[in-house]
């Protein structure tokens, strides 16, 4: 039974939520902030009663998609997850998700807490939520004005995980040395996932590699295979640290234009058919492996998990498609170099010559420092681009990035106004054709708002 403080916080949060919903607004943060102001331990108090416990999903890229996959999997198993599915992933977003499903007597209606957690908030969140399972997808450089340096962030997360009770299971990406090392610092159950397909990745390290040094002894790492940035088949010739054995491994990944197929290693279970992942891109295959590994950590059935994945639908800006004026807009949220490179990899591996609508903004949620675009591999993208319409609060920086990547002037134009940019990009594509929309978070929100007004889609908080 929640204490008096939690009851008051719950009531105040719920009233805030109803007020916001009544005026037609999303309630993905503010109600949570109200409840947390009254009771700082609100999320701990409410989630403690959940029968199946709590799972946290964190990391730089893929946490929204992985958490949504896991939500589908848990639902297929008959669980009732409480999930911050809009991607509002600070403490207040977790609190808001709980408020949306709590009774007036502060009892959650649901039996499993599934929370996507911002990686900088993970240390404080795991202390409050005492999760059964913590998933870390990967750690890349991201929004340095907010997260600062990756080494420091990895150390903080490692310290927080080291303080968790022994029955918490970690689900970690074995192919990311920074993430894999999080487990090697504690004695606890860990489920590692990774890609063992020798045809995935190359041998040349990429410019944005953040962790080319061993996380333990700081000597240069050796790579038999580089998948993306510092993710791959790594080992340290100096201290002997190596990629840990994968509990959930893909022995073969086949990428296609609308999804991929994964063959799981025999050790994973009795699976003879490939796992179908119905959204494209190698990084989504990794997200699916993370979700399957998390399902294993939660003792959920593998066959059901695979069935749930096969009917998965993507979230806001994660390769969802929207029909608009006879064209298909494919929305791709980009926010950091690794995510950008993964997204363009998914675009180019199917041989597209994309028509782009690209939008760069610099609000807090985008990252105020737009320097990251210079780390992203626009040089790989530019030769294939049919045409690019550029917009956003920092569209001029983005246009400059395309120019320096070699995109010809006649293939590039800047249209500052959101609606005009959509109109222009749509008009340039042939009837029945596709426009790939690459946008940072608030730019994507702005573009979606324009599309919603034109009757093309739903606001994301109702999703």
Partner 1 sequence: MDLRIAHLYPDLMNIYGDRGNVIALTQRAKWRGIGVEVRPFSVGEWTQAEWPDVWFFGGGQDQGQDIVGADLAGKNGSALRKSVEGGAAIFSVCGGYQLLGHEYVPEVGPSIPGLGILDVTTRAGRKRFVGNLLVDSPDGPLVGFENHSGRTYLGTGAKPLGTVVAGNGNNGEDKTEGAVQGKVIGCYLHGSGLPKNPWLADRLLAWAIERRYKDATLEPLDDSDELAARAQASEVARTRT
Q: Which stretch binds partner 1 (CB under 8 A): 22-30, 108-116, 179-187, 404-412?
A: 404-412
Which member of 145, 159, 273, 323 binds partner 1 (CB under 8 A)? 145
Which member of 254, 267, 353, 371 binds partner 1 (CB under 8 A)? 371
Q: Which stretch binds partner 1 (CB under 8 A): 243-251, 348-356, 394-402, 440-448?
A: 394-402
Tell whether residue 396 is a contact of partner 1 (CB under 8 A).
Answer: yes
SS3 of 81-121: EEECCCCCCCHHHHHHHHHHCECCCCCECCCEEEEECCCCC
CA angle, residues 159, 165, 168, in degrees to nearest 5: 95
Tell me whether residue 213 or residue 276 sits nearer to partner 1 (CB atom): 213
Tell whether residue 218 is a contact of partner 1 (CB under 8 A).
Answer: yes
**What is the 3-state composition of the chain as percent helix, strand, coil, each rounded to the nearest 5?**
40, 20, 40
Tell me whether residue 180 or residue 399 sits nearer to partner 1 (CB atom): 399
Q: Which of residues 220-249 bind partner 1 (CB under 8 A)?
A: 220
* Minimum gap (Å) between residue 410 Cβ and partner 1: 13
Residues 171-210, one symbol each (x = binds partner 1 by CB under 8 A, - = not), give ----------------------------------x-xxxx
Compute the distance between CA of residue 269 and CA of residue 273 in angstroms, rounded to an integer.
11
Tell me whether residue 49 or residue 152 sits nearer to partner 1 (CB atom): 152
Largest CA distance in the chain: 66
Rounded to the nearest angstrom, the gap between the alpha carbon of residue 297 and the centroid of all alpha carbons in its chain is 20
* Minimum gap (Å) between residue 240 Cβ and partner 1: 20
Which member of 21, 130, 213, 307 binds partner 1 (CB under 8 A)? 213
Which alpha helices (H) appear in 298-336, and where do they start and end?
A: 302-310
Tell whether residue 144 is a contact of partner 1 (CB under 8 A).
Answer: yes
* Minimum gap (Å) between residue 404 Cβ and partner 1: 5
Tell me whether residue 296 or residue 394 sits nearer to partner 1 (CB atom): 394
Tell me whether residue 139 or residue 290 sits nearer to partner 1 (CB atom): 139
Tell me whether residue 352 or residue 424 sits nearer to partner 1 (CB atom): 424
Six token digits for residue 167: 């029955």
Q: Which residues have CB under 8 Å from 406's CB, separation 6+?
A: 379, 382, 383
The DSSP code for 220 is B
Which member of 212, 235, 242, 321 binds partner 1 (CB under 8 A)? 212
The DSSP code for 246 is P
Tell whether residue 372 is a contact of partner 1 (CB under 8 A).
Answer: yes
* Minimum gap (Å) between residue 129 Cβ and partner 1: 29
Which member of 180, 362, 407, 436 binds partner 1 (CB under 8 A)? 362
Tell whether residue 374 is a contact of partner 1 (CB under 8 A).
Answer: yes
DSSP lists the bridge partners of residue 457 as none
Which member of 404, 408, 417, 458 binds partner 1 (CB under 8 A)? 404
Measured from the Cβ of residue 374, the count of other Cβ atoms closer than 10 Å reads 15
* Minimum gap (Å) between residue 402 Cβ and partner 1: 9
Can you spell out the DSSP letters for 336-385?
SHHHHHHHHHHHHTTT---EEEEE---STTT-S-GGGGGTS-HHHHGGG-
Q: Which of residues 411-450 bind partner 1 (CB under 8 A)?
A: 414
CA distances, 272 to each of 73, 111, 224, 351 (Å): 19, 32, 28, 30
Reported for 235-243, long-range contacts at CB under 8 A and 24+ positions apart, including other chains, are 238/214, 239/214, 241/177, 241/181, 241/184, 241/214, 241/215, 241/216, 241/217, 243/174, 243/175, 243/177, 243/180, 243/194
* Minimum gap (Å) between residue 375 Cβ and partner 1: 5
Tell me whether residue 104 or residue 404 sits nearer to partner 1 (CB atom): 404
Which member of 365, 400, 415, 449 binds partner 1 (CB under 8 A)? 400
From first CA to last CA, the distance across the chain in angstroms is 31
Q: Which residues have CB under 8 Å from 368's CB, separation 6+?
A: 145, 362
Report the interface residues with partner 1, using CB under 8 A.
Answer: 141, 144-145, 148-152, 205, 207-210, 212-213, 218, 220, 337, 362, 368-375, 393-397, 399-401, 403-406, 414
């Amino acid at each position: 039974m929640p204490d008096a403080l939690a009851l008051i916080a719950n009531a105040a949060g719920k009233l805030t939520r109803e007020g916001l919903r009544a005026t037609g607004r999303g309630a993905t943060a503010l109600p949570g902030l109200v409840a947390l102001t009254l009771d700082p331990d609100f999320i701990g108090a409410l989630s403690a009663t959940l029968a199946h416990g709590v799972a946290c999903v964190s990391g730089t890229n893929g946490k929204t998609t992985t958490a949504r996959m896991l939500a589908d999997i848990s639902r297929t198993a008959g669980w009732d997850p409480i999930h911050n599915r809009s991607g509002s992933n600070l403490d207040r977003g977790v609190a808001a998700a709980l408020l949306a499903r709590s009774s007036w007597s502060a009892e959650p209606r649901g039996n499993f807490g599934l929370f996507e957690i911002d990686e900088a908030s993970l240390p404080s969140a795991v202390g409050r939520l005492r999760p059964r399972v913590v998933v870390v997808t990967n750690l890349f450089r991201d929004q340095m004005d907010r997260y600062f340096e990756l080494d420091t962030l990895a150390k903080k997360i490692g310290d927080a995980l080291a303080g968790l009770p022994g029955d918490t299971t970690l689900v970690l990406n074995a192919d990311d040395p920074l993430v894999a090392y999080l487990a090697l610092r504690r004695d606890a159950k860990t489920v590692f996932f990774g890609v063992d397909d020798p045809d995935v990745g190359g041998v040349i390290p990429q410019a944005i590699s953040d962790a080319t040094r061993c996380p333990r002894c700081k000597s240069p790492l050796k790579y038999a295979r580089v998948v993306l940035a510092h993710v791959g088949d790594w080992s340290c010739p100096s201290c002997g640290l190596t990629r840990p054995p994968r509990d959930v491994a893909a022995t073969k990944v086949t990428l296609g234009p609308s999804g991929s197929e994964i063959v799981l290693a025999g050790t994973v279970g009795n699976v003879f058919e490939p796992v179908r992942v119905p959204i494209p891109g190698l990084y989504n295959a990794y997200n699916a492996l993370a979700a399957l590994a998390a399902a294993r950590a939660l003792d959920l059935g593998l066959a059901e998990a695979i069935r749930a994945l096969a009917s998965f639908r993507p979230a806001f800006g994660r390769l969802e498609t929207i029909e608009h004026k006879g064209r298909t807009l494919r929305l791709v949220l980009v926010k950091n170099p690794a995510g950008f490179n993964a997204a363009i990899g998914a675009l180019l591996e199917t041989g597209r010559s994309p028509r782009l609508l690209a939008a760069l903004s610099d609000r807090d949620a985008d990252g105020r420092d737009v320097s990251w675009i210079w780390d992203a591999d626009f040089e790989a993208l530019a030769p294939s681009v049919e045409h690019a319409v550029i917009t956003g609060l920092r569209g001029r920086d983005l246009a400059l990035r395309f120019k320096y990547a070699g995109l010809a002037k006649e293939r590039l134009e800047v249209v500052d106004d959101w609606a005009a940019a959509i109109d222009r990009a749509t008009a340039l594509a042939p009837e029945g054709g596709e426009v790939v929309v690459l946008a940072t978070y608030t730019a994507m929100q702005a573009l979606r708002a324009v599309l919603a007004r034109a009757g093309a889609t739903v606001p994301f908080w109702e999703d």
